[in-house]
A and B are shown apart, each in its own frame.
Chain A
Amino acid sequence: MNASFTILNARLHDPSADMEQVTDIHIAGGEIVAIGSAPPGFNAERQIDATGKLLIPGIIDLNTRLREPGQEQKGTIISETTAAARGGVTTVICPPDTDPVIDTPAVAELIRRRAKQSAQARVLSVGALTRGLAGEHLTEMAALKSSGCIAVSNARRPVRSNLILKRAMEYAATWQIPIFVNPLDHALNNSGCAHDGRVANRLGLPGIPCSAETVAVATMLELAQETGVHLHFQQISTARAVEMLHEAQLKGVHVTADVAAHQLHLTEMDVDGFDSNCHLLPPLRTLADRDVLRQGVAGGVISAICSAHEPHEADAKLAPFPSTEPGISALETLLPLTLRLVDEKLIDLPRAISLLTSGPAEIAGLASGSISVGTDADLCLIDLDREWRFAADKMLSAGHNTPFDGWEFKGYVTHTFFEGRMTWSES
């Protein structure tokens, strides 16, 4: 299963050490056994000439819905981790809103085992914050942590009261488990399906105001400060949220944030014409919001870019806009959309790499996200100069729901290694 490889002449970039060198990497038994010259007697079964290519740690995605268990018509652990491998992603972190919900060690164990058998990437779970995600009773967080959950979250479901939320934070802080939150005030969200702005008003789409996010962010920041929990905000979409997070971080509150890659490229304008592939939650917002999110990414308030991967079967998007299901199948565009920010001179290449590797690793408390001898060989080899056209019908994800069909990208994943196995190479 674990063949031995030598990757020759790669431009190795390790974001955790902020180090770059052109060298050889030797892989055996699932691990990196040497960097530079091969160990005595080492004879790789396969050599890969990586001249001119960039080698980075495998990408860690903080928010991937694999759809298994419960929604296998949309995707499976096999299909979605195969898509992950193509996107250079070696670790996917799954929210707990599967069916059944990940609210007991048994469900976490089920997913772990299933992944162990078949996955093309490391599958890590976020446990539920409340039982059944119903927002009332706390889950057995200590047990969830022991069974491998890296955080707890109520995903997009409401917690019934701020009192319950506060107690959940206190309890999670007791066991040093981070809480991942999708900040959303459900009452203000109402039945909205697009940003409450110019485009939605013109199209008569029920609007989601920015306050649906910012009111929740403000509340959660206050509670985070009071309880001392590590609160990680997922997929923020508003300028004001970036500002509030910045203030909280300056005050020393333990809060981190990520943003979905598509939020850095699309705006409410993309919803025009009722494009159901741009039906997202949180919704695409204004150009001004997008620009502040970009500043947050460049300036450090936001320390990870995630895919917010939500594959759907075709029917889920084949309906009038408000009746379609929100989300993008995004694992295969995560890296190219992030590299585009480098081309657009928003961030430099090392920053882009850290936003996809060491940044999310730190948020999730993972040791991965670096390249060093003795660690799992989770690697992604990129031809940075290669220009290619993204095609929805060539996606490996079971969900072809993407607004990026036909986009021209620069930077192509030629090989992905997960635990020393080659999980993707272009054939």
Chain B
Amino acid sequence: MSAVNLQLDENNKLRHFLSIEGLNRDLLLRILDSAESFINITGRSVKKVPALRGRVIANIFFEHSTRTRTTFELAAKRLSADVLNLNISTSATSKGETLLDTLRNLEAMDVDMFVMRHGDSGAAHFLASHANPGVSIINAGDGQHSHPTQAMLDMFTIRSVKGDFTPLRVAIVGDILHSRVARSQIMALNTLGVSEVRVIAPRTLIPSNARESLGVHVYHDMDEGIRNVDVIIMLRLQKERMNGALLPSEHEFFQCYGLTEERLQLADDEVTVMHPGPINRGVEMATAVADGKHSVILQQVTYGIAVRMAILSMAMQPSSAGRES
């Protein structure tokens, strides 16, 4: 499929990083291994390597983000790249500039890599299919489609705690339907060969044919769904979805699907609790769980920098073809 070809060059090396779909287990493991080598840098007093010195990375965010944008920026700076931050929702497009025009203008400034978040599913694929040779696109979240760097940092976190993926049962709880994070996590977990991926939510928040289209086991009962699982990933529930036709109230969601200490007893004793952040305390999970001994939520953020360093350095093209003359 075109999505596959777009991400890899003829030697099957990373060209863009757009979605987990189309990347094989070996490549995902190489990303995790590479991230491992960057973890050490994070602990040093001088937190920089010269890997991308002289290269320019533009963070273009059409949607608000704090954590993802910041960790991408830190990752790029630790690789010694020059970083441009553009918050486009308040600049170009409000003047009517198309996404393609934005790309062309920044390319003309010799930007080597774009890290983009956009509200439309497929936006990163679109940009990648029109980018000049030598320019790489990193998807920092596109619509409801994909958020592959988040998924990879989650995989990194899981591996660092659990070691091996194959015996794991993983439950993802919350708004699967609208979640690019969930889609990417599910594809990454299945590619890495976990024993079972479960999704848990009311029917309003799960795609109608999730089992076939996403390859997951579907649960509507939280207690049943988290029984004996090794990892629980709680998704963030968007405020605007909580009081309407998708869900009656935050209260009822917490009653039925909130992760509490009592519920946590049903999972494996060594269960790991994750959340991509930011957490709605008392909606998705109780404070005691978020800050409890099973939670690795802050580690996820730390690892996010190393994983993004790995992905940026692997996807950066060796030379900016034709532009150095």
Interface residues of A (CB under 8 A from B): 196-199, 201-207, 209, 272-275, 315, 318-323
Contact = CB atoms under 8 A, between A and B. Distances in A.
Nearest to A271: B122
A202 B19 CA distance: 11
A320 B123 contact: yes
B78 interface: no
B16 interface: no
Given A202-B213, A203-B145, A322-B143, 13 more contacts: A198-B209, A198-B213, A201-B210, A201-B213, A204-B142, A204-B143, A204-B144, A207-B207, A209-B208, A320-B142, A320-B143, A322-B120, A323-B120
Interface residues of B, number: 29
Contact of B121 (A198, A315, A321): A321
B183 A320 contact: no
Nearest to B182: A204
B121 A205 contact: yes
Contacts of A322: 120-122, 143
B146 interface: yes
Contacts of A273: 1-3, 125
Contacts of B314: none
B146 A204 contact: yes
Contacts of B123: 320
B213 A205 contact: no
A204 B100 contact: no
Contacts, number: 78
Nearest to B179: A204
Contact of A319 (B126, B208, B213): B126
A151 B82 CA distance: 62
Interface string B115-135: 000101111011000100000
Contacts of A203: 121-122, 145
Contacts of A201: 207-210, 213-214
B132 to A, nearest CB: 16
Contact of A202 (B99, B100, B214): B214
Contacts of A204: 121, 142-146, 180, 183
B98 interface: yes
Interface string B85-104: 00000000000001110000
A274 B4 CA distance: 12
Contacts of A199: 213
7 contacts: A201-B207, A202-B183, A203-B122, A273-B3, A273-B125, A274-B126, A320-B123
B212 interface: yes
Contacts of B36: none
Contacts of B2: 273, 275
B120 A321 contact: yes
Contacts of B118: 320
A204 B207 CA distance: 10
Interface string B174-214: 00000010010000000000000000000000011110111
A287 B125 CA distance: 25
Interface of B: 1-3, 21, 98-100, 118, 120-123, 125-126, 130, 142-146, 180, 183, 207-210, 212-214
B100 A318 contact: yes
Most buried by B among A197, A315, A320: A320
The 8 closest A-B pairs by CB, nearest first: A204-B145, A204-B144, A320-B120, A274-B122, A273-B2, A320-B123, A201-B213, A198-B213
A168 to B, nearest CB: 29
Contacts of A275: 2
A196 B142 CA distance: 18
B292 to A, nearest CB: 32
Given A198-B213, A318-B98, A205 B122 contact: yes
Contacts of A274: 3, 121-122, 125-126
A90 B212 CA distance: 46
A88 to B, nearest CB: 33
Contacts of A323: 120
A202 B213 CA distance: 6
Nearest to B145: A204
A95 B145 CA distance: 34
A205 B210 CA distance: 14
B145 A205 contact: yes
B192 to A, nearest CB: 18
A360 to B, nearest CB: 35
B100 to A, nearest CB: 6
A239 to B, nearest CB: 16
Contacts of B1: 272-273
A319 B103 CA distance: 12
Given A197-B209, A197-B213, A272-B1, A202 B21 contact: yes
A196 B207 CA distance: 8
Contacts of A272: 1, 3
Contacts of A207: 207
Given A202-B21, A204-B144, A321 B209 contact: no
Contacts of B144: 204-206
Given A204-B143, A205-B145, A319 B210 contact: no
Contacts of A206: 121, 144
A197 to B, nearest CB: 7
B16 to A, nearest CB: 14
A76 to B, nearest CB: 24
Contacts of B214: 201-202
Most buried by A among B99, B100, B210, B213: B213
A137 to B, nearest CB: 30
Contacts of B98: 315, 318-319
Most buried by A among B99, B126, B183, B212: B126
Contacts of B210: 201
B6 to A, nearest CB: 8
Given A202-B214, A204-B144, A274-B122, A320 B209 contact: no
A37 to B, nearest CB: 58
Given A206-B144, A318-B100, A198 B212 contact: yes
B99 A319 contact: yes
Nearest to B2: A273
A315 B98 CA distance: 9
A202 B10 CA distance: 25
Contacts of A209: 208
Nearest to A193: B121
Nearest to B177: A201
A318 B97 CA distance: 12
A271 B171 CA distance: 29
A273 B125 CA distance: 8
